[in-house]
A and B are shown apart, each in its own frame.
Chain A
């Protein structure tokens, strides 16, 4: 039995050496030089990633440059060259106002989230208290809730239809009517994006040595003072990460933004509403929608470039200033 197997092996080995296909040869080379195989795989994966992420942008550009009356049968190149759509999009709709709305809402949410998540991250990361693990688990569970599950109660609430309580002297107190205001978006966004930031900041804050916080407190800072003067500056990469993720998330948010405003630029409608509004009842300006999408992405691109530089410089130069 044993000799048989050995014989077979020898035979197949000999066969392989003589005349086998290209694949078998490659396989043998790859086994001998695993580094080459890994490098090859790296190129494949990178190429795949680049194509899947960048092609949609290229396609948007193709659409944006194609004149509006030639929108059918578009290949890999635009049917014509019409950069004027980048101007026309602003003439047809005040797209810059939509962008402004989105940026204001995203910035406000980011500030609120970073502030609240900093306190929560400090507590979870640096203090010992009963029920900490349970609370973190609850937070994790809530972060998995789909936002759609909240939308009907949220809509009822922010359109002033919920009676909170009735006082004999004052009368009935209802929920605020925040439809068409930033509050109706910033509030639920903050709640939805908090868990992620809390988890990020908890990790970062927990890694700052106790001695530094103690030193700040002995020197005369309160716990909150030490948080803002020492712990947060030293966790700058983490704060930047949490902030960028929150900003991008809110900036791109569609579902709640779409339902909490009526789509008018003056009513705090965000970018998604702006893009959708190029679509009329009888006509859709696909080239303008594509142009608006490209313009709308620019702030995020700029932010990521800047933030990344900050993060890298913070890590390397040790130049984080208070």
Chain B
């Protein structure tokens, strides 16, 4: 298929709005992943593209052709279903050739294409089997085979590997076709896609290349959803020259970050890998002031260690001390830090940590929208551009 354009697509059911004013522009040959928690509308969006659901409002264009109300068969699309959906009463060959037979291909052409697809997916010896005689992975391959036999497969290499993810990426590269993938797994979305479309509660939150979503999340939802473990999000307030939260303060130069006006309620976001023990602060060009914390639980992951920190409520250099009790009441006195595996940190230890100012995200607490993605604008502009052009 060519490019896919969704304009103001809305799908309402009797009691809920599954998709609300969705605008999506998928370019020809692009691999786009719709990702979001269950019930966010990603599957409904895919169904409207496939034609299994007719949107209540809006327009869908595939390859320049308005298909909003066209049945699926007139859209020239293929689909691999989450639950595989092989026809249990047909063998693998008949399953894969179902669409070809409906389109009146002659039997020689059908056999040739099915053979070719089976060869690519390495399921040649399975073509006579019934679906209930196959393993889960084999069924997935057959489902992919059913989707790709309608494409000319001449220039494909038969080198597919075991995992579905890899297979799909490889197929996408070789087929040069537009693929829309739906998953609730943000890691899957990050690794496979050219761009990911993050959805929540029927709304598109952000569509951007994976690293842009990671480095410059458009709002609090994307910040919390993309990345594992999640970004630390702490509520606070902007004062002149600093953002004050219950657990720590972050200072900035108001002249360099004009978006931050005193009095604004903001949420500070910082990823675990951008929190550093104070002793390694020398590696950082722009560390914040030291933040006093106590280590709580350590989770060694092998390649890194996740350290849960309880903030002790005072800036190391700060004059004013907030009691940890009030901080605990806010529930925002914890930070997750990721350190090198050779770190000698232990539990219940008083330490000091710093944040990388370049990686501090600030969101408007009320709207959730991102305000800025670093609080060191002049340096950032001198170094790499922070605009959306970067990232990928």
Interface residues as binary, A206-249 with B (CB distance below 8 Å gives 1, 0 otherwise): 00010110111111111101000110011000000000000000
Residues of B within 8 A of A209 (CB): 83, 85
Q: Does B164 contact A (CB under 8 A)?
A: no
In the complex the two chains form, is B130's CB within 8 Å of A220's CB?
Answer: no
In the complex the two chains form, is A222's CB within 8 Å of B73's CB?
Answer: yes
- Knowing A214-B81, A221-B102 are in contact, say whether A234-B52 is a contact too (CB < 8 A): no
Question: A6-14, A97-105, A153-161, A314-322: which lies at the B interface?
Answer: A314-322
In the complex the two chains form, is B50's CB within 8 Å of A218's CB?
Answer: yes
CA distance A163 to B87 in the complex (A): 51
Q: Does B29 contact A (CB under 8 A)?
A: no
In the complex the two chains form, is A318's CB within 8 Å of B87's CB?
Answer: no
CB distance from A322 to the nearest CB of B (A): 6
Nearest neighbor of A215 in chain B, beta-carbon distance: B85
Q: Does B345 contact A (CB under 8 A)?
A: no
In the complex the two chains form, is B88's CB within 8 Å of A221's CB?
Answer: no
Nearest neighbor of B130 in chain A, beta-carbon distance: A318
Residues of A within 8 A of B126 (CB): none
Q: Does B132 contact A (CB under 8 A)?
A: yes
In the complex the two chains form, is A211's CB within 8 Å of B89's CB?
Answer: no
Nearest neighbor of B99 in chain A, beta-carbon distance: A219
In the complex the two chains form, is B79's CB within 8 Å of A215's CB?
Answer: yes
Residues of A within 8 A of B47 (CB): 214
Interface residues as binary, B70-107 with A (CB distance below 8 Å gives 1, 0 otherwise): 01110001110101111111100010001100110000
Q: Does B289 contact A (CB under 8 A)?
A: no
In the complex the two chains form, is A218's CB within 8 Å of B89's CB?
Answer: no
- Provide 26 A-B residue pairs closer than 8 Å at the C-beta atoms, listed in order of the A residue: A211-B81, A211-B83, A212-B85, A212-B88, A214-B50, A214-B85, A215-B86, A215-B146, A216-B87, A216-B98, A217-B51, A217-B73, A218-B50, A218-B72, A218-B78, A219-B99, A219-B146, A220-B72, A220-B73, A220-B99, A220-B103, A223-B71, A234-B89, A318-B130, A321-B90, A322-B90
In the complex the two chains form, is B89's CB within 8 Å of A215's CB?
Answer: no
Interface residues of A in 298-319 (CB under 8 A from B): 318
Interface residue total, chain A, C-beta cutoff 8 A: 22
In the complex the two chains form, is B89's CB within 8 Å of A322's CB?
Answer: yes
CA distance A222 to B83 in the complex (A): 21
Question: With A217-B51, A318-B130, A321-B90 given, can you name 12 additional A-B contacts, CB distance below 8 Å?
Answer: A211-B83, A215-B86, A217-B73, A218-B77, A218-B78, A219-B102, A220-B99, A234-B87, A318-B132, A320-B89, A322-B90, A322-B94
A318: which of B73, B83, B89, B99 is its contact (CB, 8 Å)? B89
In the complex the two chains form, is B102's CB within 8 Å of A220's CB?
Answer: yes
- Knowing A220-B99, A222-B73 are in contact, say whether A215-B90 is a contact too (CB < 8 A): no
CA distance A320 to B81 in the complex (A): 23
Interface residue total, chain B, C-beta cutoff 8 A: 27
In the complex the two chains form, is B72's CB within 8 Å of A217's CB?
Answer: yes
Residues of A within 8 A of B89 (CB): 230, 233-234, 318, 320-322
Report which A residues bind B (CB closer than 8 A).
209, 211-212, 214-223, 225, 229-230, 233-234, 318, 320-322
Residues of A within 8 A of B90 (CB): 321-322
- Knowing A230-B87, A320-B89 are in contact, say whether A225-B81 is a contact too (CB < 8 A): no
CB distance from A200 to the nearest CB of B (A): 19
- Knowing A230-B87, A318-B89 are in contact, say whether A218-B102 is a contact too (CB < 8 A): no
Residues of A within 8 A of B99 (CB): 219-220
In the complex the two chains form, is A225's CB within 8 Å of B71's CB?
Answer: no
Nearest 7 A-B pairs (CB), nearest first? Answer: A219-B99, A211-B85, A215-B85, A320-B89, A220-B102, A220-B73, A218-B79
Residues of A within 8 A of B103 (CB): 220
CA distance A321 to B132 in the complex (A): 14
CB distance from A203 to the nearest CB of B (A): 18
Nearest neighbor of A223 in chain B, beta-carbon distance: B71
Residues of A within 8 A of B98 (CB): 216, 219, 229
CB distance from B50 to the nearest CB of A (A): 6
CA distance A321 to B50 in the complex (A): 27
Residues of A within 8 A of B52 (CB): 214, 217-218
Residues of B within 8 A of A221 (CB): 73, 102
CA distance A218 to B51 in the complex (A): 8
Nearest neighbor of B81 in chain A, beta-carbon distance: A211
CB distance from A104 to the nearest CB of B (A): 30
Residues of B within 8 A of A216 (CB): 87, 98
CA distance A230 to B90 in the complex (A): 9
Residues of B within 8 A of A217 (CB): 51-52, 71-73
CB distance from B258 to the nearest CB of A (A): 51
Interface residues of B in 145-159 (CB under 8 A from A): 146
CA distance A229 to B71 in the complex (A): 17
Residues of B within 8 A of A222 (CB): 71, 73
CA distance A211 to B131 in the complex (A): 15
CB distance from A208 to the nearest CB of B (A): 10
CB distance from A256 to the nearest CB of B (A): 37
CA distance A234 to B87 in the complex (A): 9
Interface centre among B77, B94, B98 (most CB of A within 10 A): B98
CA distance A234 to B50 in the complex (A): 24
CB distance from B14 to the nearest CB of A (A): 9
Nearest neighbor of B149 in chain A, beta-carbon distance: A219
CB distance from A238 to the nearest CB of B (A): 14
Nearest neighbor of A211 in chain B, beta-carbon distance: B85
Nearest neighbor of A233 in chain B, beta-carbon distance: B89
Nearest neighbor of A230 in chain B, beta-carbon distance: B87
Residues of B within 8 A of A321 (CB): 89-90
Nearest neighbor of B79 in chain A, beta-carbon distance: A218
Residues of A within 8 A of B130 (CB): 318
CA distance A221 to B99 in the complex (A): 8
CB distance from B99 to the nearest CB of A (A): 4
Residues of B within 8 A of A212 (CB): 85, 87-88
In the complex the two chains form, is A234's CB within 8 Å of B88's CB?
Answer: yes
In the complex the two chains form, is B88's CB within 8 Å of A318's CB?
Answer: yes
Interface centre among A219, A221, A322 (most CB of B within 10 A): A219
In the complex the two chains form, is A215's CB within 8 Å of B71's CB?
Answer: no
In the complex the two chains form, is B102's CB within 8 Å of A225's CB?
Answer: yes
CB distance from B153 to the nearest CB of A (A): 17
CB distance from B283 to the nearest CB of A (A): 52
CA distance A216 to B98 in the complex (A): 8
